[in-house]
Structure 1
């Protein structure tokens, strides 16, 4: 039976968050839920495969890479940004609405009042040619991202053969956490410097959907910094 039934009640969500998510996030900074959607996960997978089939996934971009550094030496995934409202993305939309409910309850339980918005869903595919993503932090510079949620879509995944493990390096801890990208598995972790992580090389097609939830106050400040920097650069260009 999946963790989340289609018509799960608020009380059931509250119990799941209180018993599983909050204790794990507070103790080690990340949390796993297996069997999240059950058969509903099949619909999400089919919609992601269709996006891939029609060519909607494009090379993932890099921010702030050094000149001369080849993108594929850092990240080898192909991605598409999806709101859930697109035609043919109804199952993805259900997943996003569910994540919204889970994270809202989780944030309230932990007293994080500023988590009020999220990104679009990043649908990602590592094409199985040894592509991965080097060690990095999602939010190293206070850009507003607070909680990272990754939903995996890989049936019959054998990490020994296929690789593709997401390895987390929890800040200040003597251990690493290896997360296999198994079908219908949800991973949540803090997006900031507490959780550097990498995607190890994948040797089979590997699908995942990632969503970031924002601290609205930090995000507003990041937007102000960007606006000020842009204005300063424009002023410098016009005076030179």
Structure 2
């Protein structure tokens, strides 16, 4: 699929400056519906379904194991990491280009954040057996992740029947925000402790694509800490052997 002009630059700029930036600064999250349109959204969905059916998606890993608690009680998704340049990911690449452009328009207006890079895309499927993901924070320890963007791919989703709500617990607020994982919806939220969130049990196959955008200063500091920790560990192992 060629990279076509899906959304005019002027429309993306208006969306970024008039809606996304104000909402992130005031509430910490925002979603937009109808991002790509039916045709391209369908193409992304077809490619994600193909990854699922071909066995490309594997059980999502946990940052740390908890004795006596099965992984599926914490997170029940199956995932694959893609750059968008792989064969069979052409429509995913179109999606990533649109989201990159949108975030770059927001980047200079988000309180001094230096957003210049992002993660690969995490393609995820909750297989509909009651799988979910318990309440957690994407970036609890300053690893550089600044903005979480999730693109949903679920047609005819009925939350009363299918579950699968993403519930955000905004820090210091008396309310929660329930986000339905609807087809062609793009959600933004701060990745840090301001937005603990959970994926409620899903009783139908639930697809999403997530990318994280990095604050380059925080990311560099996180890499430096990791390098120092690794060097310290190796030094300790060398002296104790």
TM category, shorter = over 0.9
Alpha-carbon deviations, 1:50-107, whole Å to 9, x = none?
0001000000000023334321110000000010000011100000011100001011
Quick one: distance in 1 between partners of 2:176 and 2:238?
Answer: 49
Alpha-carbon deviations, 1:180-239, whole Å to 9, x = none?
000011100000000000000000000000000000110111011111111111111111
Runs of 4+ aligned residues of structure 1 deviating over 4 Å after TM superposition are none
Structure 2: give runs of 5+ residues left out of the alignment: none
Give the equivalent residue in structure 2 for 1:98: 98
- Residue 176 (structure 1) aligned with residue 176 (structure 2): yes
Q: Structure 1 stretch 110-119 or stretch 150-159: which is displaced more?
A: 110-119
TM-score after normalising by structure 2: 0.95
Cα pair 2:153 2:181 within 8 Å, conserved: yes
Give the equivalent residue in structure 2 for 1:236: 236
Give the equivalent residue in structure 2 for 1:28: 27
* DSSP-derived class of the 2:92 partner: helix
| Cα deviation, residue 19, structure 1 | 1.6
Give the equivalent residue in structure 2 for 1:11: 10
Quick one: distance in 1 between partners of 2:156 and 2:88?
Answer: 25
Q: Structure 1 stretch 137-146 or stretch 221-230: which is displaced more?
A: 221-230
Quick one: distance in 1 between partners of 2:112 and 2:16?
Answer: 14
| Cα deviation, residue 112, structure 1 | 3.6
- Residue 38 (structure 1) aligned with residue 37 (structure 2): yes
- Residue 188 (structure 1) aligned with residue 199 (structure 2): no
| Cα distance change, pair 138–50 in 1 and its aligned pair in 2 (3 A) | same
Q: How large is the RMSD of aligned CA atoms in angstroms?
A: 1.2
* DSSP-derived class of the 2:198 partner: strand
Structure 1: give runs of 5+ residues left out of the alignment: none
Give the equivalent residue in structure 1 for 2:75: 75
The count of aligned residue pairs is 236
| Cα deviation, residue 23, structure 1 | 1.4
Q: Structure 1 stretch 133-142 or stretch 65-74: which is displaced more?
A: 65-74
| Cα deviation, residue 7, structure 1 | 4.2
Quick one: distance in 2 between partners of 1:156 and 1:8?
Answer: 24
